[in-house]
Chains A and B, each alone.
Chain A
Amino acid sequence: MTRFLRLLAVFLLFAAPLRAQEGFEAVVAGLAGGFAAQAEAVERLGALGDPRAVPILRALSEGRLQKSPEGALAIDGRDALTGAPAPTATEAIRINNRVRGALRGAFGRLELASASDAERAAAAAGLFRARSPENIQILEDALGREANPGVRATMERALAASRLAAPDAGVRRQGILMLGGTASPEARGLLLEARTASPDLAPEIDAAVAAIDQRLQLRRVAETAFQGLSLGSVLLLAALGLAVTFGVMGVINMAHGEMVMLGAYTTVVVQEAFRGIPWLFPWALPLSVPAAFLVTAAVGAGLERGLIRHLYGRPLETLLMTFGVGMILQQAVRLAFGAQNREVISPAWMQGVITLPGGVEVTQNRLWIIIFSLLVLGLTVAAIRFTRFGLEMRAVVQNRRIASTMGIRTGRVDAMTFAFGSGIAGMAGVALSQIDNVSPNLGTGYIIDSFMVVVFGGVGSLAGTMIGAFTLGLVNKLLEPWAGAVLAKIAVLVGIMLFIQRRPKGLFALKGRAAEQ
């Protein structure tokens, strides 16, 4: 009963309509002050609950709210309060993180009754972070109205968080029980924070935290596995083209990394070309994939016909020459595009976190890259297995002379195979532009890893390349928490070197006559 009275008092104090009418303008004026005054004004606007505050706060958060030297506020050239045309000499009001935090709480209160599911969910999430006992009542009311189960869950968490901050121990206990039933790392953090504030509830909190930890454990394993798969997919993409040129043709292409780099720069160029065409712009990244394939395949074909062809049977010379080609390509790109990193914008569908069943959170861009790498692998296998080009390629690899007497133009097949491998590297470049810097030396970082994957998996075996890439990715990520990123990588390198001594032909050695040469 006392709790209810206290809440009522709080409610009356802040939400009494008469006071609000009077106070609104005065409170809004505070937004033109210093950061501390701004944060206070934002909090009070949230407490007032006046819907007129929403567009003003929205403008403030987006940097569109301006103030004149006299302190009058304007949005997009109109007075923020009256809507009348505002004087021109105004400057944008800037905010800091403290104000941003306050804004989140204020929006939470103001938009909890919004018609849009997304806004209500965002509001509830904001109130979860800006937890305060003052929000208990409005959250309870909102829960009473809410039908959407997803939004309900968010609101329940926000309510529990607010209860955790209540003065009454019984209310807090309610909050602890509710949070203890979740599997949320944020809830865990809140509980631990509350532990210092309320030692009397320590046993309950410890039990709740332990319950959450148990649920989180499996999820953490899953997340580490995902990170390993993600690294593996990057390695797979980088190595797949090499698996074709080195594994199938036996050509050591040290300019392979530069093919990847050219693919990434093709992405930049496609994006720049589409910048002026709004309806096409979101498709820039998917369209870059075929573009990158064609560009790098053309470069690869030229490289094979112009240079590499003359060095067949001399792998060490090929190695040195392609290294020189890589240098030239790098410097050419550096002169053409500048040494600076180029910006590649991620489409909205590749940003943020996606929650998989079981509550495992994974980043969207990494998930897409895993899918993409498997797609590219599938296409490569299909091209080799099911097309005429693939058949001819296999024929030439197995026995060049007989293939030639059967009427296969081996020179053309060589050029096409090399172009194909280079094209795959180009497609890898499109994916890597999403997670790495697009700079002229993008490729150098991947060349040694790619060779290691191909040699480890077994030269000439695409399945070996795939399994090799994912194995190395997973091992790397499993070692990382103990050893740190660098030692994990060194350990993997040394491990591969030792492994190759034991099995010089890699995991999946080709058997039979094709393996001999």
Chain B
Amino acid sequence: MTARFQLSRRALLAGTAGALAMPAIRPAFAQGAPIKVGVLHSLSGTMAISETALRDTVLMMVENINAKGGLLGRKVEAVVVDPASNWPLFAEKARELLQVHKVDVTFGCWTSVSRKSVLPVFEELNGLLFYPVQYEGEEQSKNVFYTGAAPNQQAIPAVEYLMSEDGGGAKRIALLGTDYVYPRTTNRILRAFLNSKGIADADIMEEYTPFGHSDWQGIVSRVKRFAGEGKKTAIVSTINGDANVPFYRELGNQGIKAEDIPSVAFSVGEEELAGIDTKPLVGHLAAWNYFMSVPGAPNDEFKKMWHAYIKNDKRVTNDPMEATYTGFAMWAQAVTQAKTTAVDAVRTAMYGQKVMAPSGYEEQMWENHHLSKPVMIGEIQGDGQFNIVYKTPTAIKAENWSPFIPENASRRRG
């Protein structure tokens, strides 16, 4: 028992270090131990499809910063672990990063449940986590910086667009989502928002399906029926991951065109579209804070860097990758300003940090630990990219505690 146990622990450490394929060490680093950056993204299991690109983005940023001479004169070193899309394992691996590897900062998590799983660990050990994905809000931890969108930076502007003349002037909304906390909370906020805009509950349809749902016949025909009540109807989709392909296929097969019933999705980006034939989807919408098709020098530079790093010009960039990029750049700035990687000092230095993001907007980190971000609406094109049909004139500040959730009025400030 002992022998096996000790062996496994040692081998585990050796294995992790060996597997990391560190970028070549550049010369001319000043004295000092390397700065360690933890990467906590699933590389196997169901979430690997989405999260692997984020691991690569962090590794790209690390390589890039080392090429420029490191940070505070020290080399930056990535520590990659694989939580394997297993939520309890996320907590275990977070503890491993903080206690065994003693990382200075961690970039990681995609799903809300994985973030909720690691949160107590980061709070207990006073770590620092950068979370790069759009989420439902209703959270704010002093140990987490949220670089993805809060609901007011994605969902509400998207619905406003659908109700505008350009978006088709929708008067009736079908809220379709996968049954988990992000769609539930987002739809609760949207319902309150729609009510405040004079749309009655009778004109709102809300339906949830399990993860990976593939038989959309019934729901799509119910949406069709819902749309046949004489008011312009639109679909707001918080359908997650895999389930989107059969959903869109059913929409196309049942002859629902974007001109008649447009749909706007919050979880469908370039990476998700990369595997499917998008021609029947043209005209359906997605709302994000960044699209690969954003014009301008910051995005060109980002895309160039990505293609050079991944050595494949066909790979796409997407919103969570951009949020990872922005978060990393901001953290590096804050460390430089604080002249240390100590968590408390970096946290203070993060407030007010500004970065010119690939979205082409200057984004700022506020004391609520959320970024100000622009909102963009894109139409799906035949080539899997998005045609940006709307963007906000400036970056919008996050409301992570939504004013549309009544309980927030009495909530203790965290």
Contact = CB atoms under 8 A, between A and B. Distances in A.
User: Do A and B touch, yes or no (CB under 8 Å, in the complex)?
Assistant: yes
Interface of A: 35-36, 63, 94, 96-98, 100-101, 104, 129, 185-186, 188-196, 223-224, 227, 230-231, 234, 339-343, 345-346, 351-353, 361, 363-366, 435-437, 439, 441, 445, 477, 480-481, 484-486
A352 B280 CA distance: 10
A213 to B, nearest CB: 11
Interface of B: 46, 48-49, 165-168, 179, 207-210, 212-215, 217-219, 221-222, 224-225, 227-231, 242, 245-246, 249-250, 252-255, 258-260, 262, 274-277, 280, 283, 379, 381-382, 387, 389
State the majority secondary structure of interface residues on A. helix
B166 A445 contact: no
B257 to A, nearest CB: 8
Given A94-B387, A192-B230, A437-B242, A340 B214 contact: no
Contacts of A97: 167-168, 258-259, 262, 283, 379
Nearest to A62: B382
- Most-contacted residue by chain B among A96, A223, A435 (CB, 10 A): A96
Contact of B389 (A35, A189, A191, A234): A35
Contact of A484 (B165, B207, B228, B277): B207
A231 B218 CA distance: 11
4 closest pairs, A vs B, by CB?
A192-B230, A193-B230, A189-B228, A363-B253
Contacts of A223: 221
B250 A363 contact: yes
Contact of B276 (A230, A341, A353): A341
Contacts of B179: 486
B224 A185 contact: yes
Contacts of B381: 63
Nearest to B382: A63
B48 A339 contact: yes
A340 B384 CA distance: 15
A485 B259 contact: no
Nearest to A344: B277
A340 B209 contact: no
Contacts of A190: 230
A193 B172 CA distance: 12
A190 B227 CA distance: 11
B389 A194 contact: no
Nearest to A230: B217
Given A193-B230, A223-B221, A484-B207, A351 B259 contact: no
B389 A353 contact: no
Contact of A191 (B167, B219, B230): B230
B166 A36 contact: yes
Contacts of B219: 485
A343 B281 CA distance: 14
A481 B222 CA distance: 9
A345 B49 CA distance: 21
A192 B232 CA distance: 11
Contact of B230 (A98, A189, A342): A189
A100 B258 CA distance: 9
Contacts of A436: 214, 246
A402 to B, nearest CB: 46
A268 B242 CA distance: 17
Contacts of B262: 97
Nearest to A441: B46
Nearest to A36: B166
A227 B217 contact: yes
